[in-house]
């Protein structure tokens, strides 16, 4: 008697590279953000590279091991982004707009523990500025 082994492979679409990032919720005042968390060297390096879209209230939180001056760039990043550099206390230090597929450096004006990348103009459209508190950041 023969035994037939049937292997079924199920292929599901993966959301634009988001499969390796845990998701968290952070808020700035009344504004809620669903963010992917980049907390390892590998995930911080990859960031939002090669993504073709980002939801209206979606972004990425970069958590660094210790406060330091942080610089970001947009190599292989297809979406125009704004980045808020955030101190260890959760307060926004400065916000910078970044052009896609450039290697221009955008840096924190003081030591930062986090960076929050959102669609370009997201902070400005909501009148979010330096000094505002971001709640829900992982310690």
The boundaries of the domain holding residue 50 are 21-135
Give the pLDDT score at 129: 98
Residue 72 in domain:
yes
Mean pLDDT of 6-17: 34
Residue 50 in domain:
yes
Residue 8's Cβ-count burial label (10 Å; 0-12, 13-18, 19+) is exposed
H or E element: which one contains 37?
Answer: strand 31-38
pLDDT at 100 > cutoff 90 = yes
Q: Which residues contact 83 (CB under 8 A, 6 or more apart)?
A: 72, 95, 96, 98, 106, 115, 116, 117, 118
Q: Which residues contact 108 (CB under 8 A, 6 or more apart)?
A: 69, 70, 71, 85, 93, 94, 115
Residue 88 in domain:
yes
Residue 69 in domain:
yes
For residue 42, name the pLDDT band (cuts at 50, 70, 90): very high
- The span from the CA of 46 to the CA of 17, in Å, is 10
Mean pLDDT of 97-123: 98
What CATH number is attached to the domain comprising 93?
Answer: 2.60.120.1140
More confident residue, 9 or 42: 42
- The span from the CA of 131 to the CA of 79, in Å, is 26
pTM beyond 0.75, yes or no: yes
pLDDT digits (tens, 9 = 90+) for 67-93: 999 999 999 999 999 999 999 999 999
Residue 5 in domain:
no
pLDDT digits (tens, 9 = 90+) for 52-61: 999 999 999 9
Residue 6 in domain:
no
How many independent structural domains does the chain possess?
Answer: 1
């Amino acid at each position: 008697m023969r035994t037939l082994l049937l292997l079924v492979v199920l292929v599901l679409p993966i959301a634009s590279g988001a499969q390796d990032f845990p998701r968290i919720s952070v808020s700035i005042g009344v504004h809620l953000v669903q963010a992917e968390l980049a907390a390892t060297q590998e995930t911080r390096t990859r960031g939002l590279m090669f993504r073709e879209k980002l939801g209206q209230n979606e972004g990425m939180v970069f958590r660094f091991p210790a406060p330091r001056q942080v610089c970001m760039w947009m190599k292989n990043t297809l979406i125009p982004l704004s980045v808020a550099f955030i101190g260890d206390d959760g307060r926004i230090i400065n916000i910078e707009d970044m052009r896609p597929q450039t290697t221009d450096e955008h840096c924190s004006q003081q030591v930062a523990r986090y960076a929050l990348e959102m669609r370009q103009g997201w902070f400005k459209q909501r009148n979010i500025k330096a000094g505002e508190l971001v709640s829900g950041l992982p310690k």
